[in-house]
């Protein structure tokens, strides 16, 4: 059975309301039937010394996204060689699930840097991009060959980041307005970021 699958990857350390909001925007696009959230074990571009263990980040993801229709958490990248490059995941999916059509989902901040990704041209050959952008945004600085393979969905981003949440937790500041309650419970139980 084939489908139109959105791929939304990240380290999600921790997952927050901004991730949930952008995922819902991707799902509102008429381009995809399903959104697969890909938990990245070892992202090559993240240089932070400590990273929350994969299993704990997976638990937080499952709690944050539970109950959202047509969305599933995938652990494919944990089974692939490290570090985790998006192109490896796409190659794997094209080989093992070739009947699907894939859209790589990202925010407009990632689109601006997409030309720096390892093997980004191969990614463009294998799938199109679905980018959540602020309404009315233009992308004059993005190469035409990238824009020709890019679709946009309107999205108003929340002012929240994983690094900001980690800083707030370390400072003893509440994060209940930025993170789902079930994720806050995991952070407290595991004593993360303090």
Domain parsing of the chain, residue ranges: 4-158
Residue 123, helix vs strand vs coil:
helix
Q: How confident is the model at residue 1 (pLDDT cuts 50, 70, 90)?
A: low
Count other C-beta atoms under 10 Å from residue 7's C-beta: 25
Residue 99: exposure state from Cβ atoms within 10 A (0-12, 13-18, ≥19)? exposed
Q: Which CATH superfamily is domain 4-158 in?
A: HUPs (3.40.50.620)
Q: What percent of the chain is predicted at pLDDT more than 90?
A: 85
pTM over the 0.85 mark? yes
Q: Kindly report, residue by residue over 56-79, the tens digit of the pLDDT.
A: 999 999 999 999 999 999 999 999
| H/E element, 181 | helix 181-190
Residue 37, helix vs strand vs coil:
strand
Phi, psi of 160, deg, nearest 5: -150, 145
The C-alpha atoms of residue 96 and residue 105 are separated, in whole angstroms, by 20
- Least confident span in 12-16, 61-65, 82-86, 94-98: 82-86
């Amino acid at each position: 059975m084939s489908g139109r699958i959105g791929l939304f990857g990240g380290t999600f350390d921790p997952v927050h309301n901004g991730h949930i909001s952008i995922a819902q925007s991707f799902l509102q696009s008429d381009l995809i039937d399903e959104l697969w959230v890909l938990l990245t074990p070892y992202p090559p571009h993240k240089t932070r010394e400590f990273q929350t263990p994969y299993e704990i980040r997976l638990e937080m993801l499952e709690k944050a996204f539970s109950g959202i229709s047509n969305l599933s958490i995938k652990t494919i990248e944990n089974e692939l060689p490290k570090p985790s490059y998006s192109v490896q995941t796409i190659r794997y999916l094209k080989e093992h699930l070739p009947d699907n059509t894939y859209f790589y989902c990202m925010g407009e901040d990632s689109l601006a840097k997409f030309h720096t990704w390892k093997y980004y041209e191969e990614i463009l050959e294998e799938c199109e991009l679905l980018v959540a952008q602020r309404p009315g945004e233009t992308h004059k600085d993005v190469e035409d060959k990238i824009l020709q393979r890019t679709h946009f969905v309107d999205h108003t981003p929340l002012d929240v980041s994983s690094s900001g949440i980690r800083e707030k937790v370390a400072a003893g500041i509440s994060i209940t307005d930025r993170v789902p309650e079930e994720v806050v419970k995991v952070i407290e139980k595991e004593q993360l970021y303090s």
